[in-house]
Homo-oligomer: A and B are copies of this chain.
Amino acid sequence: MGMVGGGLDAFIGAVHRKAAALDGEIELVCGAFSSDPEKSRATGRALYLPEQRVYESYEQMFRSEKLLPEGERMDFVSIVTPNHVHFAPAKAALENGFHVMLDKPLSFSFKEAKLLKALVDKTGLMFGLTHTYTGYPMIKEARHLVRTGALGKVRKIYVEYPQGWLSTPLEMTGQKQSAWRTDPARSGKSGCMGDIGTHCENLVEFVTGLKINELCADLNTVVEGRQLDDDGSVLLRFEGGATGILMATQVAAGEMNALRLRVYGEKGGLDWHQEFPNQLKIKWLDKPMEILQTGSPFLTSTAAAKNTRYPAGHPEGYGEAFANLYRNFALNLRARFNGIAPDPDLADVPTVEEGLRGMAFIETLIKSTASKNKWTKMIE
């Protein structure tokens, strides 16, 4: 694996590297870690990489790696730059024949998203998008329960993602994470919804398989002087008749990372909270509530089991969820190299389709917020 972005001071780069390293299936062999060549070199040194595999730009990396013999050159590239630098390196990677793992969201704009989708389709290369929360074992179990009908026909879907870290104008203090996320030139049309709202949309569709048909959005900028939305509430209507609510906010003072999903069907409901990811509550209409646990032998989903590392009671977390995306991507890639079919239980890594869907969602939110009409159809 090579890496684009992820210099020493970038939070998410280190997360990707740990995730890739955890299972011993992926080796970081090269990188273009920063647009500043000196920074890139310093990062390479800290990561014990050989000097000649640390590049000054991603363009240089793709050119050089391509010339290396198979087996030596990187098998895929992980792109972990801010949103406005997703499209160009991803496009370049695909055009140079490299498979891609990309930090979400897919791109800066819906237009870019459609171009990338077309390029992936054309090249036939593998493309993964790190919607981390799909990597949790209990989300696999939730998906399995809903999709096998254990809860009956889905009626109501509630997803919420309250954070509090942008309750003050943090970006004015020079804090890096907030600076690019609140800057339309780097983040795109939406702040909060692009950052965390898309996780909600993705999680809902991942678990239920239902697509949002139309929505009614109310995005807000709560902190004065901020340029993008830092909060939003959305009414949802799904294909097949289910309805629901999506809430994402970054001004819920005191909240950390409280992503929560609830899905109610005719027979029961499920309830999952990211800060306590190893428990999945199932509330039944006709029997007592159950608490399912990561690693438990009583789960119904083989995908849950295959994405679990420790016995029940040994808590797994965000790191393992992230690592599941990388490991599964790597194992699917290996299956492809070996000409065999990938394990269907590992085949659910979000890809360019989910990424395009996310960008369409943002586009629709912006349109709905500007509209006086209650309902806005999802843009395609």
Contact = CB atoms under 8 A, between A and B. Distances in A.
Interface string A281-319: 011111111111101101000000000011111111111
Contact of A216 (B162, B235, B288): B235
B235 A254 contact: no
Given A164-B269, A278-B275, A283 B253 contact: yes
Interface stretch (A70-78, A94-102, A110-118, A369-377): A369-377
A21 interface: yes
Given A254-B285, A309-B18, A245 B243 contact: no
Contacts of A249: 156, 264
Contacts of A222: 155-156
Interface string A232-270: 010100000001110101011111111000101111110
Given A24-B18, A317-B319, A257 B311 contact: yes
B254 A289 contact: yes
A90 to B, nearest CB: 25
A296 B286 CA distance: 10
A274 interface: yes
Contact of A374 (B254, B320, B374): B374
Given A256-B293, A298-B287, A315 B24 contact: no
A22 interface: yes
A8 interface: no
Contact of A268 (B11, B220, B253): B253
A291 B28 CA distance: 38
Contacts of A317: 278, 310, 314-317, 319-320
A169 to B, nearest CB: 12
Interface of A: 11, 14-15, 17-18, 21-24, 28, 47-48, 151-152, 155-156, 158, 160, 162-165, 167-168, 216, 218, 220, 222, 231, 233, 235, 243-245, 247, 249, 251-258, 262, 264-269, 274-278, 282-293, 295-296, 298, 309-320, 371-375
15 contacts: A15-B310, A21-B22, A156-B231, A158-B247, A163-B313, A216-B218, A253-B266, A253-B283, A254-B284, A255-B283, A256-B312, A288-B296, A289-B291, A316-B319, A319-B320
